[in-house]
């Protein structure tokens, strides 16, 4: 049985998804969960790309102990130096150097000959070797590179001391058979390649990233690269959870295993979805809300008789085995605390108390709260964004024939209550304009998404917003039985983060009206 290493690049390739912008703290939170999931390598970022990326790689390197922490670097000394510095506290550091090899990249992007590519890559690996014992070399766009040139690239990587050779299908162009052939061909032509670990890195432009990764396993690679939920550039990367669960479920076919703790998959998927704001489609394999749901009568009947009729794996395998014992408005603090523990949250008493207050308010409006509701509530409140502004209430006047008008009351720094009103193009717009007046800072709403946490008329609605100001993008999430309230909460959370990120200590003095002094405030 071969062990396949899992190289997670959620924080690097995944963060390259359009609209995704993770803070350093969020990256560390994801990295620690990836460590719990048991991934072998965590690509924390591209240290030379920006000071923010550098700091994130450094923070992940300090926090993670069991997985290897990786930084990407172009094949230049400056990038390798940045990676080295950022990774200096890592328990198991790994340098990931890349250079494109395909004719189209050589000619148009790099303006380099084959010889120049080989020379630059060799120099970079040799330089990196002075500081790192683990070095992965990636031949970017290997999928469209001449096979014989890939053989030369592989020989160069072996000769200069790379420990991993990655042959990515950068543009998601190949079929499984073609991708497998590349690995087999190169391995046959370069007998010394056995000294290295071969790695597969697939993109999903034609929807074949997972199939291609599995074909690479069949062809003998020792490592698969991908992201949680398959997020990433364009159509994304191979979804790690799908690859790992396929290997486990079809171990009769793949004589291989990963070291992942598959039971952490559901939690990891939820965390990545929450922090990136990329919702997981209901029908997504392994982690979609419907992945283990059975709708039709015939299927339900089969399931009741024998689960294997329609289920090839049990939901517990990937951590979907929550009790779904419902809590309601009569549930006490003790039951609530116990449920949080069962769901894997270890929280301080004060956090539990705060959450309990929110839980009671929601349970008053929603008959029952199941595990997904409780998780959504906890994850909304676990953010450490300073509560500069917090929503007291809003009132909305809205009708199909009238202009939506919102009145909001917001507590500022826990003391001052500010009331404002505004009209908008729609109800959410009116609420946001009123909040803007309270805050006194113009922000750009970059993204707004809404989803329901569970099913049914009283399902919790979850809103995700992204705001931008002065080049800083932040996100916020809000959860409520009422989508307008969830929208207001998400916006205020994002505003709080923006104030922290922009170093605003206080709202501009002359804006808004203090309750009591304002006609709207009382
Ligand atoms: O897709 C790709 O080629 C990459 C490399 C940097 C490995 O992400
Ligand atoms: Zn990639």
**pLDDT truncated to tens, each residue of the chain (522 aa)?**
899 999 999 999 999 887 788 889 899 999 999 999 999 999 999 999 999 999 999 999 999 999 999 999 999 999 999 999 999 999 999 999 999 999 999 999 999 999 999 999 999 999 999 999 999 999 999 999 999 999 999 999 999 999 999 999 999 999 999 999 999 999 999 999 999 999 999 999 999 999 999 999 999 999 999 999 999 999 999 999 999 999 999 999 998 999 999 999 999 998 999 889 898 998 999 999 888 877 777 777 787 888 888 889 998 999 986 555 678 888 888 888 888 887 777 788 888 898 898 888 888 877 778 777 888 788 776 555 578 899 999 999 998 889 999 999 999 988 889 999 999 999 999 999 999 999 998 899 999 999 887 767 777 888 999 999 988 888 888 888 899 999 999 999 999 988 887 877 777 754 444 433 333 332
> Under 8 Å CB-to-CB from 398, ≥6 apart: which residues?
404, 405, 427, 430
Runs of H (alpha helix) within 282-368: 297-305, 333-342, 349-365
Which ligand is nearest the CA of 168, by number?
1
What is the side-by-side strand order in the sheet with 389-397?
389-397, 405-412, 416-423, 513-514
In the structure encoding, which two tokens stand for residue 495, read together? 């505003």
Query: What's the rounded Cα separation, in Å, for the pair 106 and 442?
Result: 45
- 393 Cβ contact partners less than 8 Å away, ≥ 6 residues apart: 408, 409
Contact 52, 24 (CB under 8 A): yes
Residue 292's contacts (CB-CB under 8 Å, 6 or more residues apart) are 311, 315, 320
The pTM of the whole model exceeds 0.75:
yes
Task: Please give the number of the atom of ligand 1 that sits closest to the Cα of 138.
Answer: 7
CB atoms within 10 A of CB 453: 19
Q: Which tokens go with 309?
A: 């009729």
Contact 327, 337 (CB under 8 A): no
Q: Which two tokens stand for residue 80?
A: 């390798």
Q: How far apart are CA 337 and CA 474, in angstroms?
A: 31
Nearest bound ligand to the CA of residue 141: 1
The finding on whether 98 has its CB within 6 A of some atom of ligand 1 is: yes
Give the Cα separation of 337 and 511 in Å (integer).
41
Q: Cβ neighbours of residue 230 under 8 Å, at least 6 residues apart?
A: 204, 209, 210, 236, 237, 238, 239, 242, 284
Task: Give the number of C-alpha atoms closer than 13 A to the C-alpha of residue 52, restricted to the C-beta side.
Answer: 14
Cβ-contact 14, 22 below 8 angstroms: no
Distances (CA, A) of 502 to 79, 318, 397: 28, 39, 33
User: Residue for token digits 């994002």?
Assistant: 494
User: 71: Cβ below 6 Å to ligand 1?
Assistant: no
Among 9, 48, 140, say which to mutate for ligand 1: greatest number of ligand atoms within 8 Å of CB: 140
- Any atom of ligand 1 within 6 Å of the Cβ of 201: yes
**Ligand 1 neighbour 359 (Cβ under 6 A):** no
DSSP state of 123: H
- Residues 99 and 231: their CA atoms lie apart, in Å, by 23
365 in Cβ contact with 317 (< 8 Å): no
Cα 479 to Cα 51: distance, rounded to the nearest angstrom: 33
CA of 171 to the centre of ligand 1 (A): 9
By most ligand atoms within 8 Å of CB, the mutation choice from 7, 10, 13 for ligand 1 is 13
Separation CA 353–CA 428 (nearest Å): 30
Radius of gyration of the chain (CA): 25
For ligand 1, say whether the CB of 43 is within 6 Å of any of its atoms. Answer: no
Whole-number pLDDT of residue 39: 98
Give bridge partners of residue 408 from the DSSP assignment: 394, 420
**Token output for 461:** 């609605």
Smallest CA-to-CA distance from 241 within 268, 279, 203 is with 268
Instruction: Judge contact between 159 and 126, C-beta under 8 A.
Output: no
pLDDT at residue 461 in the model: 86
Which ligand 1 atom is the nearest neighbour of the CA of 9? 8
Do 203 and 228 touch, CB atoms closer than 8 A? no
Are 359 and 391 in contact, with CB atoms under 8 Å apart? no
368-369 and 327-328: which strand pairing? antiparallel
Ligand 1 pocket test, pick from 167, 168, 179 with the greatest ligand atom count within 8 Å of Cβ, gives 168
Q: Which two tokens stand for residue 261?
A: 């703790």
Q: Which atom of ligand 1 is nearest to the CA of 12?
A: 8
CB of 507 shorter than 6 A to ligand 1 = no
Q: Would the CB of 473 count as within 6 Å of ligand 1? A: no
* Residue 127 CB neighbours (<10 A): 20
């Amino acid at each position: 049985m071969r062990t396949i290493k899992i190289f997670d690049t959620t924080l690097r390739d995944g963060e390259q998804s359009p609209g995704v912008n993770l803070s350093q703290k969020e990256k560390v939170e994801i990295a620690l969960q990836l460590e719990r999931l048991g991934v072998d390598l965590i690509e924390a970022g591209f240290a030379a790309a920006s000071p923010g990326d550098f700091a994130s790689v450094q923070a992940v390197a300090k926090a993670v102990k069991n997985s290897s922490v990786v930084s990407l670097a172009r094949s230049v000394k400056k990038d390798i130096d940045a990676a080295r510095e950022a990774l200096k506290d890592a328990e198991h550091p790994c340098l990931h150097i890349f250079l494109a090899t395909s004719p189209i990249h050589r000619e148009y992007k790099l303006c380099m000959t084959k010889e120049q590519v080989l020379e630059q890559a060799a120099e970079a690996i040799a330089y990196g070797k002075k500081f790192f014992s683990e070095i992965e070399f990636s031949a970017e766009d290997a999928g469209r590179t001449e096979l014989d040139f890939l053989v030369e690239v592989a020989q160069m990587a072996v000769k200069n001391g790379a420990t991993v050779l990655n042959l990515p299908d950068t543009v998601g162009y190949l079929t499984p058979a073609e991708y497998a052939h590349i690995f087999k061909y190169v391995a046959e032509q370069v007998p010394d390649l056995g000294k290295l670990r071969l790695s597969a890195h697939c993109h999903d432009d034609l929807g074949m990233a997972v199939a291609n990764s599995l074909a690479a396993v069949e062809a003998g690679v020792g490592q698969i690269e991908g992201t949680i939920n398959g997020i990433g550039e364009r159509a994304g990367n191979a979804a790690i959870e799908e690859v790992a669960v396929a290997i486990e479920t079809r171990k009769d076919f793949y004589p291989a295993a990963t070291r992942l703790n598959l039971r952490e998959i559901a939690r990891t998927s939820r965390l990545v979805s929450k922090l990136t704001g990329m919702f997981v489609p209901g029908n997504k394999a392994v982690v979609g809300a419907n992945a283990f749901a059975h709708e039709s009568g015939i299927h339900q009947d089969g399931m009741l008789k024998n689960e294997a009729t329609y289920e090839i794996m049990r939901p517990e395998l990937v951590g979907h085995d929550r009790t779904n014992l419902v809590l309601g408005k009569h549930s006490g603090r003790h039951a609530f605390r116990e449920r949080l523990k069962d769901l894997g949250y270890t929280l301080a008493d004060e956090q539990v108390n705060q959450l309990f207050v929110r839980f009671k308010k929601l349970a008053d409006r929603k008959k029952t709260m199941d595990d997904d509701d409780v998780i959504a509530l906890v994850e909304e409140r676990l953010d450490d964004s300073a509560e500069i502004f917090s929503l007291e209430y809003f009132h909305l006047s809205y009708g199909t024939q009238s202009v939506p008008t919102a009145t909001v009351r917001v507590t500022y720094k826990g003391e001052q209550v500010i009331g404002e009103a505004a009209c908008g193009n729609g109800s959410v717009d009116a609420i946001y304009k009123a909040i803007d007046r309270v805050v006194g800072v113009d922000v750009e709403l970059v993204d707004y998404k809404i989803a329901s946490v569970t099913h049914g008329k009283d399902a919790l609605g979850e809103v995700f917003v992204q705001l931008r100001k002065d080049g800083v993008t932040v996100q916020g999430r809000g959860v409520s039985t009422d989508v307008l309230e969830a929208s207001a909460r998400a916006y205020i959370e994002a505003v709080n983060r923006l104030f922290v990120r922009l170093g605003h200590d206080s709202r501009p003095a002359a804006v808004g009206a203090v309750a009591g002094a304002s006609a709207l405030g009382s």
